[in-house]
Structure 1
Amino acid sequence: MTSSLSFMGSYSGITMDTVDQLIEAESRKVVQYKNQQTGLTGEKNAWKDINTRLDSLYKKFDALKEPNAFDSKTVSNTNDKAVKVTAGTEALEGSYKVEVTTLATSSQLTSGSITGMSGKKITDSLSLSGELTFTTENSKGTEENKDLDTKSFTIKIAEGDSLKDIVTKINETAKEKESGLHASVIDNRIVLTDTDMGERSISVTDSNLEEGNESLVGKLALGTDVTSFTSGKQANLTVNGIQMYRNSNTITDAVDGLTFNLVGVTESNQVSTVKVTEDVDKTTKAIQDFVDQYNSVMSFIDTQLDVGDPSADGNKTGALVGDSSLMRIQSQLRSMMTSSSKDSTQPIKGLSDLGIEVNRFGAATLDTAKLKEQLAKNSNNVQAFFFREESVKDADRNETTKQFGIAQQMTTFINEYIGEKTGIITTKSKTIDGMIKGLDEQITKFNERLEKKRERYIEQFTALDVAMMEAESQLSYLMSQVTTNQQK
């Protein structure tokens, strides 16, 4: 090939530049293929962006299916240094005056000085063995219900166990038995704390004390004659003049839907005034979020379908001009935003009743004042318009639960496009990938054909030069013969 290249053009004047020009002229098809690939990649990226925006819109509507989007409550409190209050969705609007007289505390039993600990570390062996039983119970319980609030467990102490080992066994067994007792070591003394609050007793007894043996309780200074015991207290609070006691500082059963977290004792003339109201701002924000995301989707769709100015030089169009699937999304979203329900059982018929209007360009706006007016009138009606579940009977009188509302309609429609496995966008993306791959294969084959054609051109033009060289040689020979004959 090298000799051919060096010889080619010697007589004909047809060089590699000529071959390159011929190949370049024929390679314009590759440019067309690559332009098609660029267009397809633009389509794929556009659909990917649409999928992301639709997914966000799906989530905005999905959030409006949740009860707390409409039933959330806001709480104001004039004195949260004594009590902090949170409200669940089931809480009723109202006002409460709360006064905390006593916080709930835990009972604590502290051992006396343990014999033999002098000069020892808590990790040194105590040379003790035996079994101890730990019992906690409600001191205010009656004889009939005391057993229901009694918790007990037993540990075994082996020769070689240290004070630290004993405390570790207490805690591990207490946790396993869910007794609520916790042990620690302070100044070489065992401190037992009942994590269950209220007036509870703590007792420690030998489980298998044999006659004549010294009490293990005594050796660990856990007998009642040497221990220090502080009884826990019940929380004492008053809500709207009603006094109540609880064995916890977190109280959930005083007012339905409200949780009172007691954090301090109410000082004089500082009673906590708690007001529970509907959290319309949270609902308004959730609806505004979906309106904003809807506008984002529609604006981007407009960009992708934009034909630009066909009469202008270098006119730029959207990546999905004329795409029927995208036009269907645009049309259906706008239709659902402006449609009116024919369900006579629902007082709210359309988004316009909630202050949401869609202009002729498809953009939506929210009148928050009108929305809040509807929420104040009846937030349940607003919630039912977005999402509700109803029991319906089929032709065989079988009862099933069905979902209704614009949020349900929107998420169902959007899922047709963004579904991971069977969604229209997923299918389109796979189709485009296949087309791009097909173009890659065509480009490869076309380049192979061009390379073979290049080789043929080189062979043909080299052969032409050889022929011209031979013709010139023959012509020179003939001319020499003619000259010789003339001289004779």
Structure 2
Amino acid sequence: MANNINFLGSYSGIDSATIDSMIQAESGKVVQYTNKQTSITAEKNAWKDINTRLDSLFTKLGTLGEDKTFQSKLVTSSDATKVAITAGTDSIASNYSIEVNRLATSTQVTSGKISLADGKTIKESLGLIGKFTVTSQAISGTPEEKETPAGNFEIDITAKDSLKDIVGKINEKSKESGIQAKIVDNRIIMTDSNMGERNMSFSGTGTLVKDLGFEAIPEQNYKVGQSAELTIDGIAITRNTNNVTDAVEGLTIELKGVTEASKPVMIEIKEDTDTSVKAFESFVEQYNSTLTFISDQLDVGNPSAKNNKTGALAGDSSLIRLQSSLRSLMTQSANTGNMSYNNLESIGISVDRYGKATLDKEKLKVGIADDPAAVKKILFQTTSTETTGVGENGESTTVITEKKIGLAQKIQELVNTYISDKTGIIKTKSATYDKLSEDLTKSITKFNERLEKKRANYVTMFSRLDTAMMQAESQMAYLQSQFSTEK
């Protein structure tokens, strides 16, 4: 075949370049297939980008429904070195006067100095054997606290145990007992992690209590813990902790230092509207970004222009429906029980005729400060309806149906019909695009195979033509030579 190709066109003038031109003229279908495949890829990528934007919009709508968005509080303390406050979403905006008369402390017991043999360290065995028991119990507090030993545990000591080993065994039980131990100058210091007035006692087999330095403990080595004492707005409170969580609903009061007489720490709790505004800002920005991208994909450009460019999804009915539905939902009303706040515009979110949203921060702040519950109801609320019927055995039945009617919930439901992993429109479209692209790839492959066969046929046919013309020329030359000889 190589010789035929090299010989091709020597007599007919039809060479490989001519055949390439003929094949090129017949390959228009491949160009159409390729262009269609490029278009499908662009559409699929556009929907993928829309899916990402819608997913982000869904998430930001969810943030608007969190308690912290509408109930977050700002806390200020006139002296955070004495009293620090953490306010939960269920706290009430108010002012408090707090005096700290005493901080809570833990009971701490220090043993006598434990004698070690000459040259021995705390890492070498003491040669002690037996069971050592530590008990910690409340002196003050509720009857239950007094009756129940919080720390009551026993450790086994073997002859090979060193002072460090014994302390390690005590600390292994710290999680359950609350008792922590350490070594200072060959002494064991026991500290109860439970604060308040508590007793700590020791017992053991044989002479273990004496050997470990806990017999006849000097008064200065036995420091009983104490409860915290404070007043909140003149009300005296006692707690066995410096983190008071049950005095004022929604507030954690951390006591850090004793206040001076008649110099209380002033606490102010107020609504944190900035957190709310930021959540709404983020939603509005994502909504506008999504709508702008959708508009770009649907853009038909200027049909009368010579090289008009259109969006990848121009004319797509599913996207047009999404664009229209989003715009419509942004202007709907909701029954909140307060006519002053029943749609997005009433809380500062206005939408122009192109669907673009604008946020008036000050108007939003006023709405949240005035009636945060109504503002939240614009976005999130659920209604229930009861339907009565008759069961299989004739008994009456009641079916309760809940329906989400908040604007944010409706937008989320709309968005979910597009981005759902199982039944979403975008997932279905993506699968369709993949199938179309796969079919086009097969068509292109088959068409190219036909073109290659046709090319081979052209080469064979025109090679034969060149051979026939060469033979004819040779015969003509022979006949001419014969005529010349006869003369």
Shift of 1:369: 2.3
SS of residue paired to 1:398: strand
Out of 233, 239, 254, the position equivalent to 2:232 is: 239
2:199 equivalent in structure 1: 201
Q: Percent identity?
A: 49
Shift of 1:44: 1.2
8 Å contact kept, 2:379–2:408: yes
Shift of 1:67: 2.1
8 Å contact kept, 1:79–1:270: no
Q: Distance in 2 between matches of 1:243 and 1:110?
A: 33
Letter paired with 1:88: G
SS of residue paired to 1:56: helix
8 Å contact kept, 1:98–1:239: yes
Letter paired with 1:472: E
8 Å contact kept, 2:114–2:186: yes
Out of 250, 269, 294, the position equivalent to 2:243 is: 250
8 Å contact kept, 1:54–1:418: yes
Q: Distance in 1 between matches of 2:349 and 2:223?
A: 63
Q: Distance in 2 between matches of 1:112 and 1:400?
A: 72
Q: Distance in 2 between matches of 1:61 and 1:326?
A: 20
Shift of 1:402: 4.1
1:166 equivalent in structure 2: 166
Letter paired with 2:24: E
1:219 equivalent in structure 2: 211
SS of residue paired to 1:394: strand
Residue pairs, 1:462-481, within 5 angstroms: 462-481=463-482
Q: Distance in 1 between matches of 2:199 and 2:402?
A: 52
1:124 equivalent in structure 2: 124
Letter paired with 1:138: A
Structure 2 residue 147 is matched with structure 1 residue 109: no
**Mean CA deviation greater in 283-292 or 423-432:** 283-292
Residue pairs, 1:429-468, within 5 angstroms: 429-468=430-469
Q: Distance in 2 between matches of 1:458 and 1:472?
A: 21
* Change over 3 Å in CA distance of 1:79–1:117 after alignment to 2: farther
Q: Distance in 1 between matches of 2:483 and 2:263?
A: 137
Q: Distance in 2 between matches of 1:445 and 1:186?
A: 87
Q: Distance in 2 between matches of 1:92 and 1:15?
A: 93
Structure 2 residue 77 is matched with structure 1 residue 85: no
Letter paired with 1:248: T
Q: Distance in 2 between matches of 1:17 and 1:92?
A: 88
Out of 363, 366, 373, the position equivalent to 1:373 is: 366
Letter paired with 1:353: S
SS of residue paired to 2:6: helix
**Where do 5+ consecutive residues of structure 2 fail to align?**
390-397
Structure 2 residue 293 is matched with structure 1 residue 295: no
Letter paired with 1:453: K
SS of residue paired to 2:282: helix
* Change over 3 Å in CA distance of 1:30–1:137 after alignment to 2: same
Q: Distance in 1 between matches of 2:290 and 2:362?
A: 25
CA RMSD of aligned residues (A): 1.9
8 Å contact kept, 2:37–2:437: yes
Deviations, residues 399-432 of structure 1 (Å, cap 9, x unaligned): 4554331111111111000111211111111111
Letter paired with 2:296: T
SS of residue paired to 1:260: strand
Q: Distance in 2 between matches of 1:73 and 1:221?
A: 52
Shift of 1:285: 1.9
Letter paired with 1:182: Q
SS of residue paired to 2:177: coil
**Where do 5+ consecutive residues of structure 1 fail to align?**
none
**Mean CA deviation greater in 91-100 or 62-71:** 62-71
Shift of 1:312: 1.8
